[in-house]
Amino acid sequence: MSGKDKADGKPQETDSTTIQSANQARERECVHCCCQQKGRSRGLGCMIWTLVLLLIIVLLACGVFSISTIVASTDTGSTFTTKEVRKGDDNVVAVVNVHGLITENDTEGLFSVSTANSDRVVAELEDAYNDDSVKAIILNMDTPGGEVVASDIIYREVLKVRERKPVVAYASRMSASGGYYIASAADRFVVHPDAMTGSIGVILTLADYQGLYDKLGIKTKVFKSGKFKDTADIFEEPANTEHEKVFDDLVMEAYDDFVHAIVQGRGMSDAQVRELGDGRIYTGRQAVDNGLADQLGYYEDSIAVAEDLARITGSTVREYTTDSFLSSLTGALRPDVVPGAGMSGGHGSAGMYYLLDPSL
C-alpha cells in the first residue's frame, strides 16, 4: 500500500462510520415516527368509539332505543314507554305519574325536569282505560298543583275512567291544590302520614313594575276599545276598584269550580268543603281525619287498595315512564314547590292556578 493510500485510509474509514451512524439514526427516527402515527391512530380510534358510545347513551336516554316495554295506543296512535314495577299474573295495575307542575302545554325539554302535562296524563289514562289487561289504575301524585284548566282536564278524565275501572290516588310527598283537585276524582285517596295535601284555593299573582319603570323613566300610553281592556293594569294610582273586582270575580269563580269538583268527586257537602278549603295545607293525617283523604298508607298499600277494588290479587304492576334525559342519568329531579311558577313575574305564563303558595 502506498503512502498516499495509507494517508487516505483513515479518513475513508471515518466517513464510513459516520454514514452508518446517520443511517441508524434515521432508522430510529422512522421507527419513532411510526410509533407516534400508530399512537395517534389508536387515539383517534378511541375518540371515535367514545363518541359512538355517548351517542348510544343519548339515544337510549331519549327513548329512541328502549329496553322497556313499548305499548301502542290503538285510539290515539301514540306510544308509551312502560316498565314493570312488579311481575305478577296477566291482570295489570297501571300506574300513571302526576309529577311536577300541572300544565296544559308541554314544557319538557331534553334536559328539563318532569312536568304533569295534561295531554300526556290524559293519553296514558286513555291507554290504560282501553287496555283490557288493566284492571285498576293508580295515580301516583307528587305535585304542588298548577294550571286551573290543565287540572280540570285531568280531573274530568279520571271521572270518566273510574266509570269502568277503579282509580286510586296516592301521595307520598305532595298532592296539593290542583293535585288535590285531581285526587278528589279518584275512588280512593291514599296518603303518606306526612304528605302535604289540601291547599284548596286559587291564586293569581300580577307583578307591579311601576316602581322600576319610574326609576328607568319608562312611561306607557294605552289605547283601548273599552274601559276594562287594560284590566291587568291594576296598579294605577288611585287604585281602580272596578278592575280589582274583575280579578276577584275570576278567582272566586275558579274557586267555586274547585269546591264543586270536590263535592262531586268526594261526596262531601258544599259547606264542608268551603270550611276546609281556605287555602291551608294539611298533612296526610289531618286529611284523613277531616275527610279529604280515605286512608294513610304507602305505595304498596295503594296497590293493595287498587287490587281490592278490582277484586284481583297477585297482579302485574306496570308504570308509565316519563323521565327526561337529565333525570334518566341523575335520578328523579322534581321540584317540591315551583317558586313563582306560571305566574306573571315568575317563571311561566300569567294565569290562574290551583297551586300551593309559591312563596313557601
**Annotated catalytic residue, options 41, 229, 245, 269:** 229
Give the position of cell 326609576: 215
Question: HSE-up of 33 (CA within 13 Å, CB side)?
Answer: 6
Q: Give dist(CA 358, CA 199) in Å, integer.
A: 12
Q: Which string of b and e fits 83-117 if b means at least 16 CB within 10 Å?
A: eeeeebeebbbbbbbbbbbbbbeebbeeeebbbbb
177 part of the active site:
yes
C-alpha cell at position 326: 337529565
Long-range contacts of 25-29 (CB under 8 A, 24+ apart): none
**Annotated catalytic residue, options 177, 184, 302, 327:** 177
Question: Which is it for strands 92-99 and 353-355: parallel, antiparallel or unpaired?
Answer: unpaired
* Residue count of the chain: 360
- Where are the extended beta strands (E) located within 144-284? 145-147, 167-176, 188-191, 196-198, 281-283
C-alpha cell at position 252: 272566586
Listed residue (265, 302, 271, 273) closest to 290, CA to CA: 273
Give the position of cell 316519563: 322
225 part of the active site:
no
Q: Give dist(CA 83, CA 359) in Å, integer.
A: 36
Question: Which is it for strands 316-320 and 281-283: parallel, antiparallel or unpaired?
Answer: unpaired
Listed residue (175, 162, 44) closest to 102, CA to CA: 175
* Positions marked active-site: 177, 229
